[in-house]
Every structure is written in C-alpha cells, then in structure tokens.
Amino acid sequence: MKSSIRPVVAPQSVPSEAPDAVLADPLAPVPDIFAKARQFTRLREVQEMGLYPYFVPIESSTSTEVVVHGKRLVMVGSNNYLGLNHDDRVIAAAQTATAKYGTACTGSRFLNGNTDLHEELEVRLAALTGKEAGLVFSTGFQTNLGVISTLVGRNDVVVIDKLDHASIVDGCRLAGGETVRYRHNDMNDLETKLRRARGHAKLIVVDGVFSMEGDIVNLPRLVELCAAYNASIAVDDAHAVGVLGATGAGTAEHFGLTDQVDLIIGTFSKSFASIGGFVTGERAVIDYLKHHARTEIFSASMPPAACAAVIACLDILAREPERRLQLWKNADRMRDGFRALGFDTGGSVTPIVPVVVGDDLATFEFWKRLFDAGVFTNPVVAPAVPERESRIRTSYSATHTNDQLDFVLEMFAQVGRSMGIIS
Ligand code: PMP
C-alpha cells in the first residue's frame, strides 16, 4: 500500500491488554468513562436559550402536516418524497401483513426471520434497478455498514466523496482496507486518488443525491474514471430511488448508466414510506453478501409490515408516474421561490433544497422562528455539513399542495427578512 493513501480513521484493532495499562501509574487518578457526557453542556445551553431543535415529539401526522404540542405545522423536513406514508393502500398492506405474519420476525433472516415477503421484495428491487439480484437489510445504515465492510478487505481500497453519508463513512471504518476521500463531486481529485491506488482492488461508494446538499453525483465522469482505473462502483441512492430516473429507479437510470454501476444501494425510509435498506447487483456478489455481511446475519430482519409497505409503494410507483412528476414540480417551485427571495440554496437540483445560513446559532434561531410560524424544517450544523455552512434543510413531497408551499415561502420570507438573512 502506498503511504500516500491515508485511512480516515485509526486502526480498528484494540490490543486486549494495552501496554499503557501495564505501565500506568497506580496512584494516578483513574479517568472516568462518563466525564465526556457530564462535560457536554452545549445541549443545556441551547435548551436554555429556547433554541433546541432536535427530538421534536410529533403527536400525529398526515403526509404533509404534523401536530406538535397541539400545534399544526406544515412538514418540509421529511424525506417522504412520494408522500406515501399515509396512503390507504400502503397502510392496508402493512396491516394485512401484520395480521398474517405478526408484528416481527424475532430473528435474523439467516435463521428464523425470512418470509416470502422479504424474498418478493428482493426480486422486485432487482427488477426496478435493472440488476440480477437484491438483498434487503433492516436499515439503510446497516446496508452500507454490511456491504462496505464485507467487500473491502485488507489490501483493498474504498474511495468515497467527502460529503458521503455517515453510514458510508462508518462502513469504511469497519472495513479492513484503506479509505481514501476525494473533494465533493470533484472528478479531478477523484482521478488523482484513483491513480495513487493503482494495483489495488477498488470500490467507489458515492451518494447518488447528496442528502444535505441536494446535488447529484457526476456519474458520467465517475463511470469513465472507474473504467480507466479498474474500479467498481456502488451508488447509495437513498434519496434517488422513487425520485430520479424515468421509472424512479434512481441515479443510474437518470443518466442511462445502469449497466456501468455495479451495486445500487437504497433505503426504504424515504420514498418507500417504511424502514429497511437494500443492495442490488450481480447475483454472485449478492449471494456473497447474504452469507458474509454481519449486519445482515447478526441482526433481526425487517418486520413483515415494513416489507409489505415497500411492495405496495413499488406498485404505486409503477402505476402512478404522475406522483414523481408532481414531486419535481413542487421541488422546482420551492427552489425557484427561495432563489427569487434571495436565499442561498447551494447546488440543489433535487427535492432536497437547503437554505444556507452559515452560523450555528443563527440557524437554530431561524429554525425556531419558522417552527413558531408553523413550518417544520431541519436545522443542520457541523459535522453533518462543513463548518460555517449550517443550513435549514427542506425537502418536498408529491403530496404538498401549492397553498402549503406558498405558505412555507411566505414564512421563510418574513423570518429571513426579520433576521437580515435576505433583504
Ligand atoms: N444513506 C443516505 C445517503 C442517507 O441519507 C441515509 C439516511 N438519512 C441512509 C443511507 C441511512 O438510511 P436509513 O434511514 O434507512 O438507515
């Protein structure tokens, strides 16, 4: 391995008896494992300012509105792209599956937790994404952990975008090989990194749509580079399935590059109104993952209701393409609206539309005022985004009405002006 390829994390193995422990001064005070938690005062400070924005308890919801502390808000902080989480057909499918199989499988698919629904779902996802076979996991996060750590062995290299999702970063931490990061969507930097990793088996793992930016990977160039440097490609389409492509199959379909992408990874927690994750690709690779991925084998399977909900969503996606079109109309309306008001929406070109504020506290303040005005958004600060690029992340559903969207724009305009973010 060339020394220029630096891991993003420290080596994984911890010696069972660290040499320091042997040499430790027996009279020195013993460090307290909970000290870091007790010194974590930032939480209370923000709470005391009345600006704490996380773990908001939702009391009830529709696909586009939520009730919090008895107050109704328009939800633009969800990833409910197709607006299917309250669809009667999806709810009925989940209820029927619960009645037939119970609420849970109480075990791993490997042993007692596999149902015909899990298998049907895998066949359907392989068909949607144009791949030979599929494998579902209990979350998208577990999918990335399992796929990357299983495939990237000791002498291999995994190459990731600096803004890839945390589950990809953590998958790399679990992997035996080296991790190399390239600047966000910078194909020249990627080429430099691929050149340095010559001679190693390489997997590039990249978000199709970046979750905090709303931009799309430059897949055409990435595919060319992978061919030139003999690298394989996995695209995490968490925010792209159901959203991008003529049939909603995701980023590869959007660019007409399905055959050039080796693995398509996704989640059911967004367009598919459920919970779980999947990977599709060549049958041999899927079979290998099925029998080696620890997050698959040593974790309980998706509940049957969750599988049935996704299958119902897949049916609706196929039969009602107008939903996807409406989603894009709504997203364009909002992106254009924010830009016309003078907000910075970064590189967004998808239904994820951030409004960049910059400072953390100003972002929390902006969030709070929007919340009080009846708009539910997500404030995003470092490390989820680069320092000083804190933002209000908004995202849209096919089921938002024009009245709701215009209300959101009006509230952003009022709050943005009162805080001096726009003039
Ligand atoms: N990948 C990306 C790009 C994501 O945005 C997310 C969730 N935010 C995940 C993976 C994890 O998916 P899940 O919610 O199913 O664990």
Q: Rounded CA gap, 254 and 263, in Å? A: 15
Whether the pLDDT of residue 9 is over 60: the answer is no
Q: Rounded CA gap, 407 and 399, in Å? A: 15
Query: What is the rounded average pLDDT for all residues in the chain?
Result: 94
The CATH number that domain 49-78+321-418 falls under is 3.90.1150.10
CB contact at 8 A, 405 and 380: no
- Among 151, 153, 160, 393, CA closest to 291: 151
How is the beta sheet containing 71-75 ordered, strand by strand?
Answer: 60-61, 65-68, 71-75, 375-376
User: In the chain, what are the domain boundaries?
Assistant: 49-78+321-418, 88-319
How is the beta sheet containing 378-380 ordered, strand by strand?
Answer: 352-358, 390-395, 378-380
For the segment 54-68, the average pLDDT, to the nearest whole number, is 97
Predicted local confidence at residue 30, as pLDDT? 87
The verdict on the CB of residue 236 being under 6 Å from ligand 1 is yes
CB contact at 8 A, 408 and 76: yes
pLDDT greater at residue 398 or residue 12? 398
Predicted local confidence at residue 286, as pLDDT? 98
The band of 370, judged by pLDDT with boundaries at 50, 70 and 90, is very high
Predicted local confidence at residue 20, as pLDDT? 54
279 CA distance to ligand 1 centroid (A)?
13
The verdict on the CB of residue 269 being under 6 Å from ligand 1 is yes
For the segment 381-393, the average pLDDT, to the nearest whole number, is 92
What is the residue-wise DSSP string for 348-361? --SSEEEEEEESHH
The verdict on the CB of residue 277 being under 6 Å from ligand 1 is yes
Helix, coil or strand: residue 164: coil
List pLDDT tens digits, range 250-271. Answer: 999 999 999 999 999 999 999 9
Whether the pLDDT of residue 16 is over 50: the answer is no
237 CA distance to ligand 1 centroid (A)?
9
Whether the pLDDT of residue 395 is over 70: the answer is yes
Atom of ligand 1 nearest to the CA of 211: 5
CB contact at 8 A, 262 and 235: no
For the segment 313-336, the average pLDDT, to the nearest whole number, is 98
The label of the residue with tokens 């008895």 reads: 70
What's the length of the chain? 423
List pLDDT tens digits, range 338-347. Answer: 999 999 999 9
**Identical topology for domains 49-78+321-418 and 88-319:** no
Let me know the angle formed at the C-alpha of 85 by 137 and 354, rounded to the nearest 5 degrees: 85
Total Cβ atoms within 10 A of residue 373:
16
List pLDDT tens digits, range 184-194. Answer: 999 999 999 99
Predicted local confidence at residue 7, as pLDDT? 32
Predicted local confidence at residue 22, as pLDDT? 60
Atom of ligand 1 nearest to the CA of 79: 8
Predicted local confidence at residue 42, as pLDDT? 87
- Among 6, 79, 167, 68, CA closest to 370: 68
Residues noted as catalytic: 211, 239, 270
Q: Which of 144, 147, 164, 167 to mutate to test the pocket of ligand 1 (most atoms within 8 A of CB)?
A: 167
Q: Is the N-terminal amide bond of 383 cis, ω within 30° of 0?
A: yes
CB contact at 8 A, 145 and 179: no
163 CA distance to ligand 1 centroid (A)?
13
Find the helix or strand (DSSP H, E) in which 266 lies: strand 263-267
List pLDDT tens digits, range 149-185. Answer: 999 999 999 999 999 999 999 999 999 999 999 999 9
The band of 14, judged by pLDDT with boundaries at 50, 70 and 90, is very low
414 CA distance to ligand 1 centroid (A)?
32
236 CA distance to ligand 1 centroid (A)?
9
- Among 149, 138, 248, CA closest to 205: 149
CB contact at 8 A, 323 and 83: yes
Cα diameter, the chain: 72
Whether the pLDDT of residue 126 is over 90: the answer is yes
Q: What is the pTM of this model?
A: 0.93
Let me know the angle formed at the C-alpha of 200 by 198 and 204, rounded to the nearest 5 degrees: 90
Q: Which of 79, 125, 137, 141 to mutate to test the pocket of ligand 1 (most atoms within 8 A of CB)?
A: 141
Q: Rounded CA gap, 349 and 377, in Å? A: 18
The verdict on the CB of residue 274 being under 6 Å from ligand 1 is no
Q: Which CATH class is domain 88-319?
A: alpha beta
Indicate if the alpha-carbon torsion angle 271, 240, 200, 194 is positive or negative.
Answer: negative
- Among 358, 407, 399, CA closest to 78: 399
Atom of ligand 1 nearest to the CA of 207: 3
The residue whose CA is least distant from atom 15 of ligand 1 is 140
For the segment 261-283, the average pLDDT, to the nearest whole number, is 98
The verdict on the CB of residue 207 being under 6 Å from ligand 1 is yes
141 CA distance to ligand 1 centroid (A)?
6
Burial class for 330, CB neighbours closer than 10 Å (0-12, 13-18, 19+): buried
Count how many Cα atoms sit within 13 Å of the Cα of residue 337 in the half-sphere of its side chain: 19
CB contact at 8 A, 256 and 246: no
Using CA atoms, how far residue 360 sits from 42, 46, 200, 344, 364, in Å, is 12, 11, 41, 16, 6
Q: Which of 136, 143, 211, 395 to mutate to test the pocket of ligand 1 (most atoms within 8 A of CB)?
A: 211
The residue whose CA is least distant from atom 13 of ligand 1 is 140
The verdict on the CB of residue 273 being under 6 Å from ligand 1 is no
Provide the token pair at 142. 């577990």
Whether the pLDDT of residue 374 is over 60: the answer is yes
Q: Identify the DSSP state of 32.
A: P
